[in-house]
């Protein structure tokens, strides 16, 4: 069963939230392990900072998820525009991180982040263009024209 997402920004932002939460946990654990191996005194403080950072990042992406869900449910042009702006900001930060990554996991996380942001921007743009209506593919409209005759 193939599911085509035409304007499901709620589902896309949920996928973004879950994926990036998992990747940020892995990045945090990797940072803690690296710091604990190098400096014993910084281990506890780095663990606390990593946990706070994860909570902030997860909270931010939870807000983006809520925004994506509201834009989808209300089919709101304004919310879709706000979602596009938020995702553009996410993509810019991730692009900066690609240029200044520490390791392969950070690079992978940033690339995934950019990919998801572009995907969500595309969905939100389609939602915005629909002006509150349903988003349908061009193939369906062609098929309907042929069957109406």
State pLDDT tens for residues 1-33.
Answer: 334 566 689 999 999 999 999 999 999 999 888
Q: Is residue 1 part of a domain?
A: no
Q: Is residue 82 part of a domain?
A: yes
What are the tens digits of pLDDT across the range 83-104? 999 999 999 999 999 999 888 9
Q: Is residue 37 part of a domain?
A: yes
| Integer Cα distance of 130 and 128 in angstroms | 5
Residue with tokens 């349908």: 136
Q: How many domains does the chain have?
A: 1
Least confident of 46-55, 78-87, 96-105, 136-145: 136-145
3-state secondary structure 1-56: CCCCCCCCHHHHHHHHHHHHHHHHHHHHHHHHHHHHHHCCCCHHHHHHHHHHHHHH
Q: Is residue 64 part of a domain?
A: yes
pTM of the shown model: 0.80
């Amino acid at each position: 069963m193939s599911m085509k997402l035409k304007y499901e920004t709620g589902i896309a932002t949920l996928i973004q939230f879950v994926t990036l939460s998992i990747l940020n946990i892995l990045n945090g654990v990797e940072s803690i392990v690296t710091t604990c191996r190098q400096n014993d005194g910084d281990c506890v403080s780095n663990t606390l900072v990593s946990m706070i950072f994860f909570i902030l990042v997860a909270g931010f992406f939870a807000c983006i998820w809520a925004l994506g869900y509201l834009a989808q449910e209300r089919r709101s042009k304004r919310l879709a525009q706000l979602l596009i702006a938020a995702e553009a900001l996410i993509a810019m930060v991730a692009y900066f991180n690609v240029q200044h990554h520490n390791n392969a996991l950070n690079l992978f996380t940033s690339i995934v982040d950019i990919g998801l942001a572009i995907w969500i921007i595309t969905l939100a743009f389609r939602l915005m263009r629909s002006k509150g209506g349903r988003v349908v593919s061009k193939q369906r409209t062609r098929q309907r024209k042929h069957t109406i005759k």
